[in-house]
């Protein structure tokens, strides 16, 4: 499943702005256009639940501080952006969040770093490929340090299978394998018989088949975030890194003369930024930006929609064995909001709401079976819906008949549910780039279910923008002109 996030509502933002002289630090000019889509702000701000803790947070005392870069959001996007500045420059970085790392979309996802469901001709392909390559390099770097990526990151090169059950889907998968191979990936098509050898428990029928990418990997997002945060904290002793958690941003600091953003005010601190303020707050980025700019002369509307999802985690599950990560073709249909009722499951759950459920299945490093996934638009609601859990289970039974011998009721004590909100963009492209007319404010959000896989590529892109470096990924593919404000 794509990554999802848990949120609860918090008090509204304080919109009292502070005006400061522009002489505090220089203004930076960026050479990059705004990437991504526009976002819909709804004026709400919600806080995140405490689902993940690391070692005690390195936080400066309540006061005024100055950094080169201030990042709003401590999910995988925000923390990898911080890491990129720390290892690739001499800039100082502050990360601020209303909660703690991994309490949002990052910590509630399935952890796969797959290319099997990506489209080589899509606008996001280059970013996805770059992110994939950087994760492989990241794992190798961990190994080169004498550490085990499995232990440090939950890293497993399981390979991935995109499966279909009809002759039509099989034909589509064959074409997909050809495209992926031409794009430089090792990919092969598996017939129903060949697939059975790879996954004996999986049933796709005689006409079915699968696209197989043996090089695809998965990781444990919480372990990976903890490792990245530990790396970032190595720079604290040099005065280049600080964390301000449980400290929501309440307003922007604007210059009297130019209206440039010079930093942020939080509930406890004032944080000046010499070069850039980066908003990487997941599906809340739109409403946050809307609130922060509400009393300014800038009208900014960047429509990130929260897209709710459920995952079912069966702990220490030995009844079913999985050798690879699996996903049905209907996942791709639902990802792009086009439902094929023959290949995936779609039901009306409430008037005006359609629930889509696609089979995804992974086995994590400690033997937990993780099943997904659902997609629906329900605003910011994150309540668990048992009927959706049942839909996910029933869908899994269609691919794994052995599960019909069991009942979900048998797993009351050994079952967990991950639920939350993906940052969804209507055109399927993330928002990565400076705000028009405010080049030192950068937004990085809207990755939907691809935040984990595209995080390192996004971080590299943002750092290149701030540093004025030519980007490896062409930013023009994500130009915002005509979509926002």
Whether the predicted pLDDT of 44 surpasses 50? no
Span of 45-59, 81-95, 118-132, 393-407 with lowest mean pLDDT = 45-59
Residue 188 lies in a domain: yes
Residues paired with residue 443 on neighbouring β-strands, in sequence order:
279, 433
Tally Cβ neighbours within 10 Å of residue 322: 18
Residue 250 lies in a domain: yes
Q: Is 154 helix (H, G, I), strand (E, B) or coil?
A: coil
Q: What is the mean pLDDT of residues 41-57?
A: 34
How does residue 42 score in pLDDT terms, banded at 50, 70 and 90? very low
How does residue 472 score in pLDDT terms, banded at 50, 70 and 90? confident
Residues paired with residue 95 on neighbouring β-strands, in sequence order:
71, 243
pLDDT at 37: 33
Q: Are residues 107 and 227 in the same domain?
A: yes
More confident residue, 299 or 340: 299
pLDDT in tens, 446-467: 999 899 999 999 999 999 999 9
Whether the predicted pLDDT of 38 surpasses 80? no
Q: How many whole angstroms separate alpha carbon 140 and alpha carbon 219?
A: 14
3-state secondary structure 182-251: HCCCCCEEEEHHHHHHHCCCCCCCCCCEEEEECCCEECCHHHHHHHHHHHHHCCHHHCCEEEECCCCEEE
Instruction: Give per-residue burial for 41-58: e unless 16+ CB within 10 Å, then b.
Output: bbebbbbbbebbebeebe
pLDDT in tens, 329-377: 988 876 655 444 444 565 555 555 689 999 999 999 999 999 999 999 9
Q: Which domain holds residue 256?
A: 63-111+221-304+427-478
H-helix or E-strand containing 465? Answer: helix 451-467
Residue 148 lies in a domain: no
Last residue of a domain, one of 424, 440, 455: 424
Question: In which residue are the tokens 């492989």 written?
Answer: 136
Whether the predicted pLDDT of 3 surpasses 90? no
Residue 484 lies in a domain: no
pLDDT at 347: 56
Q: Are residues 462 and 332 in the same domain?
A: no
Cα angle 339, 443, 300 (rounded to 5 degrees) comes to 85
Residue 347 lies in a domain: yes
DSSP state, residue 351: T
Residue 53 lies in a domain: no
pLDDT in tens, 373-383: 999 999 988 89
Structure tokens at 369: 């079976």
Handedness of CA 234, 239, 244, 250 (dihedral sign): negative
Residue 6 lies in a domain: no
Residue 318's alpha-carbon distances to 111, 312, 368, 370, 395, in angstroms, are: 20, 15, 8, 12, 19
The pTM score is: 0.85
Q: What is the mean pLDDT of residues 48-74?
A: 66
Q: Are residues 197 and 327 in the same domain?
A: yes
Q: How many whole angstroms separate alpha carbon 306 and alpha carbon 95?
A: 23
Residue 135 lies in a domain: no
Q: Are residues 211 and 191 in the same domain?
A: yes
Q: Is 77 helix (H, G, I), strand (E, B) or coil?
A: helix
Q: Are residues 92 and 232 in the same domain?
A: yes
pLDDT over 70 for what percent of the chain? 81
pLDDT over 90 for what percent of the chain? 64
Number of domains in the chain: 2
How does residue 481 score in pLDDT terms, banded at 50, 70 and 90? low
Q: How many whole angstroms separate alpha carbon 432 and alpha carbon 480?
A: 9
Q: Are residues 320 and 371 in the same domain?
A: yes
Last residue of a domain, one of 378, 401, 424: 424
Q: Are residues 203 and 315 in the same domain?
A: yes
Whether the predicted pLDDT of 23 surpasses 60? no
Name the H helices within 115-187.
125-144, 149-153, 167-182
Q: Are residues 333 and 415 in the same domain?
A: yes
pLDDT at 334: 65
How does residue 15 score in pLDDT terms, banded at 50, 70 and 90? very low
Span of 24-38, 63-77, 102-116, 430-444 with lowest mean pLDDT = 24-38
pLDDT in tens, 101-152: 988 788 888 999 999 999 998 999 999 999 999 999 999 999 999 999 999 9
Q: Are residues 419 and 439 in the same domain?
A: no
| Mean pLDDT taken over the chain | 83
Q: Are residues 412 and 312 in the same domain?
A: yes
Q: What is the mean pLDDT of residues 264-268?
A: 95
Whichever domain contains 205, its CATH number is 3.30.9.10
Whether the predicted pLDDT of 39 surpasses 80? no
Residues paired with residue 223 on neighbouring β-strands, in sequence order:
none
pLDDT at 342: 44
Whichever domain contains 442, its CATH number is 3.50.50.60
How does residue 213 score in pLDDT terms, banded at 50, 70 and 90? very high
pLDDT in tens, 404-448: 999 988 887 889 999 888 999 988 899 998 887 788 999 999 999
Q: Are residues 76 and 186 in the same domain?
A: no
Span of 227-231, 301-305, 433-437, 481-485 with lowest mean pLDDT = 481-485
How does residue 289 score in pLDDT terms, banded at 50, 70 and 90? confident
Q: Are residues 381 and 297 in the same domain?
A: no
């Amino acid at each position: 499943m794509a990554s999802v996030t848990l949120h609860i509502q918090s008090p509204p933002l304080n919109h009292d702005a502070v005006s400061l002289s522009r002489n505090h630090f220089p203004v930076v000019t960026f050479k990059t256009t705004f990437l991504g889509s526009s976002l819909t702000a709804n004026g709400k701000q919600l806080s995140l639940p405490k689902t993940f803790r690391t070692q005690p947070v390195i936080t400066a005392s309540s006061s005024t501080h100055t950094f080169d870069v201030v990042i709003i959001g401590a999910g995988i996007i925000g923390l990898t952006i911080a890491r990129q500045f720390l290892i690739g420059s001499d800039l100082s970085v502050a990360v601020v969040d209303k909660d703690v790392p991994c309490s949002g979309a990052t910590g509630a996802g399935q952890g796969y770093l797959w290319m099997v469901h990506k489209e080589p001709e899509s606008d996001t392909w280059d970013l996805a490929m770059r992110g994939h390559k950087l994760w492989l390099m990241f794992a190798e770097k961990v190994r080169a340090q004498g550490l085990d990526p499995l232990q440090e990151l939950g890293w497993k090169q399981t390979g991935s299978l995109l499966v279909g059950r009809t002759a039509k889907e099989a034909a589509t998968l064959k074409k997909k394998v050809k495209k992926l191979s031409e794009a430089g990936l090792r990919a092969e098509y598996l017939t129903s018989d060949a697939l059975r050898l790879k996954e004996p428990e999986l049933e796709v029928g005689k006409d079915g088949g699968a696209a197989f990418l043996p090089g695809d990997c998965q990781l444990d997002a919480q372990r990976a975030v903890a490792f990245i945060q530990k790396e970032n904290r190595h720079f604290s002793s040099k005065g280049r890194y600080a964390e301000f958690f449980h400290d929501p941003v309440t307003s922007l600091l604007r210059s009297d003369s130019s209206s440039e953003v010079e930093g942020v005010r939080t509930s406890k601190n004032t944080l000046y930024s010499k070069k850039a303020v980066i908003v990487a707050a997941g599906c809340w980025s739109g409403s946050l930006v809307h609130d922060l700019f509400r009393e300014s002369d800038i009208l900014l509307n960047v429509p990130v929609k929260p897209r709710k999802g459920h995952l079912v985690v069966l702990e220490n599950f030995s009844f079913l064995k999985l050798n690879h990560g699996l996903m049905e073709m209907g996942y791709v249909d639902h990802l792009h909001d086009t439902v094929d009722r023959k290949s995936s499951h779609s039901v009306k759950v409430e008037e005006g709401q359609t629930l889509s459920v696609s089979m995804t299945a992974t086995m994590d490093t400690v033997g937990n079976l993780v099943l997904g996934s659902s997609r629906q638009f329900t605003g910011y609601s994150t309540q668990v819906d048992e009927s959706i859990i049942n839909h996910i289970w029933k869908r899994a039974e269609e691919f794994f008949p052995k599960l019909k011998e069991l009942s979900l009721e048998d797993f009351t004590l050994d079952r967990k549910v991950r639920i939350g909100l993906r940052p969804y963009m209507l055109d399927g492209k993330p928002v990565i780039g400076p705000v028009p007319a405010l080049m030192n404010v950068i937004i990085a959000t809207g990755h939907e279910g691809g935040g984990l896989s595209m995080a390192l590529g996004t971080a590299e892109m943002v750092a290149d923008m701030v540093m004025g470096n030519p980007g490896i990924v062409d930013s023009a593919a994500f130009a915002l002109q005509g979509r926002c404000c």
